[in-house]
Amino acid sequence: MSSLAVLHASQLVTLAGPKRPRVGTELSSLGIIFNGGMLVRDGKIESVGPSDEIEKNVGDADIMDARGSVVMPGFVDAHTHLVFAGNRLEDFERRSRGETYEQIAKAGGGIWSTVEKTRAASERDLLAQAKKHANWFLGCGTTTVEAKSGYGLTVEDELKILRVLRQLREEVPLEIVPTFLGAHAVPRNLSPDEYLDLVITEMLPRVTAEELAEFCDVFCERGYFDIDQSRKILSEAKKLGLSLRGHVDQLTNSGGAKLMAEMDATAADHLEQTDQQGIAALKKANVQPVLLPGSVYALGSSRYPRAREMIEAGLAVVLATDFNPGSSPTPSMPMILSLACTQMKMSPAEAITASTVNAAYNLNRGDKIGSLEPGKLANFVIFDCQDYRELAYWFGMPITHSLYVTGQRVVEL
């Protein structure tokens, strides 16, 4: 039996509350214990409370004195593209010169350039780069990420990416939730319908037979997969037992939110263009919106999703990084909190709920992670600040002090 007592947190941000995603004013309720403490046994949280109460039951536990810092659950990042080769520095520089997406794609950039590099990379090289990315997430205070395929676009290359994710799980303490996103783009040598057929008849059965993914995702957008094609892929994935999520209404309002509601999906991601009707459809079907302000920011756009309207409509909002080389090259959830507060007018407390407990439920792990409550895994982070609001307030600087996964310290800065 290994045990650990965390003592003297200025704020132990527990997020204790109902055993479901938080909505409305619940998003503002962080369950903070001032001068808080926590007892961890065998990787799980045994008790939380005032530090002096916890101290009485310490026994032979190791002591971690938080010395007046904030202690909270590790961030749960519900939308990342963690595995890819290379980067998109050329695109980045072109965009900074004011070039459009079409001009950049013509010059050999865009998603296709990442597909080519990822196809050319060996499983070993992809794993090495993915490990680097995983360590960035841990360093920013994240203990669980969803991670997608989608830069392979052939049967073998999509499987390669998902196998890299499976291997990565063995090699890093970051918890990884794999998602199949074969329908990320249409490869150049196939028509949309030919590729759709490949995704449905070959990729999905292989992915599920090898148990390589928990979710199926689709990029539902003009020029990628339209509503009908997206519906076909998601219906097939559902039959095979996968949970559903989708990139919808990012660049155009094509009715993607409504499709996710119709499909009874777990998540509808992006939603920059979603209108009131889309929000109402999500509410009716209880689909969680996953908002990705990092990609709006990095693309130099100002069209953020309507977070306030979504919260007021009673949706259990989630925030994620959308970490990817093209449109959101950041693994930093504190940066996302800053954007959520300054650009989408969420409060710091709402942003923290959206990036911890609500995200945990969104990844079907609400019973294990996302809050500091007895029985849950001791995945927590100590931040070098005294007040949780500082996480969203200071921006562009590292603030992680140390990070624990199942009670073991894995990062110390």
Q: CB of 324: closest distance to Zn ion in angstroms?
A: 6
Q: Say how far apart CA 140 and CA 298 lie, in whole Å.
A: 18
Q: CB of 323: closest distance to Zn ion in angstroms?
A: 9
Nearer to Zn ion, 272 or 322 (CB): 322
Q: CB of 248: closest distance to Zn ion in angstroms?
A: 11
Q: CB of 320: closest distance to Zn ion in angstroms?
A: 9
Q: Say how far apart CA 124 and CA 41 lie, in whole Å.
A: 36
Work out whether strand 142-148 and strand 75-77 pair parallel, antiparallel, or are unpaired. parallel
Verify binding: residue 322, Zn ion, rule CB under 5 A: yes
Nearer to Zn ion, 141 or 325 (CB): 325
Nearer to Zn ion, 69 or 254 (CB): 254
Residue 81's SS3 state is coil
Nearer to Zn ion, 46 or 157 (CB): 157
Q: CB of 162: closest distance to Zn ion in angstroms?
A: 16
Q: How many CB atoms lie within 10 A of CB 271?
A: 29
Nearer to Zn ion, 10 or 328 (CB): 328
Q: What is the DSSP letter of 202?
A: I
How is residue 328 written in tokens? 């959101």
Q: Say how far apart CA 246 and CA 265 lie, in whole Å.
A: 8
Q: CB of 257: closest distance to Zn ion in angstroms?
A: 16
Q: Which range of residues in 202-210, 307-315, 319-327, 370-378 is near Zn ion by CB under 5 A?
A: 319-327
Q: CB of 250: closest distance to Zn ion in angstroms?
A: 8
Work out whether strand 215-220 and strand 243-248 pair parallel, antiparallel, or are unpaired. parallel
Nearer to Zn ion, 246 or 366 (CB): 246
How is residue 232 written in tokens? 């076909």
Q: Which range of residues in 16-24, 33-41, 318-326, 352-360 is near Zn ion by CB under 5 A?
A: 318-326
Work out whether strand 408-412 and strand 400-405 pair parallel, antiparallel, or are unpaired. antiparallel
On whether the CB atoms of residues 315 and 347 are closer than 8 A, the answer is no
Q: Which range of residues in 108-116, 195-203, 315-323, 353-361 is near Zn ion by CB under 5 A?
A: 315-323
Nearer to Zn ion, 51 or 324 (CB): 324
On whether the CB atoms of residues 126 and 157 are closer than 8 A, the answer is no
**E strand or H helix at 261:** helix 256-262
Nearer to Zn ion, 157 or 322 (CB): 322
Residue 263: C-alpha distances to residues 208, 272, 282, 363 (Å): 19, 20, 11, 17
Nearer to Zn ion, 80 or 154 (CB): 80
Residue 224: C-alpha distances to residues 110, 191, 235 (Å): 13, 11, 18
Verify binding: residue 272, Zn ion, rule CB under 5 A: no
Q: Say how far apart CA 10 and CA 387 lie, in whole Å.
A: 7
Q: CB of 247: closest distance to Zn ion in angstroms?
A: 5
Nearer to Zn ion, 46 or 322 (CB): 322
Q: CB of 387: closest distance to Zn ion in angstroms?
A: 32
How is residue 397 written in tokens? 């600087």
Verify binding: residue 146, Zn ion, rule CB under 5 A: no
Total chain residues near Zn ion (CB under 5 A): 1
Q: Say how far apart CA 57 and CA 60 lie, in whole Å.
A: 9
Residue nearest to Zn ion (CB): 322
Residue 144's SS3 state is strand
Q: CB of 290: closest distance to Zn ion in angstroms?
A: 9
Phi and psi (nearest 5°) for 180? -90, 120
Q: Which range of residues in 67-75, 112-120, 283-291, 314-322 is near Zn ion by CB under 5 A?
A: 314-322
Cβ within 8 Å of residue 401, ≥6 positions away: 69, 381, 382, 383, 384, 412, 413
Judged by the rule CB under 5 A, the positions of this chain that interact with Zn ion are 322
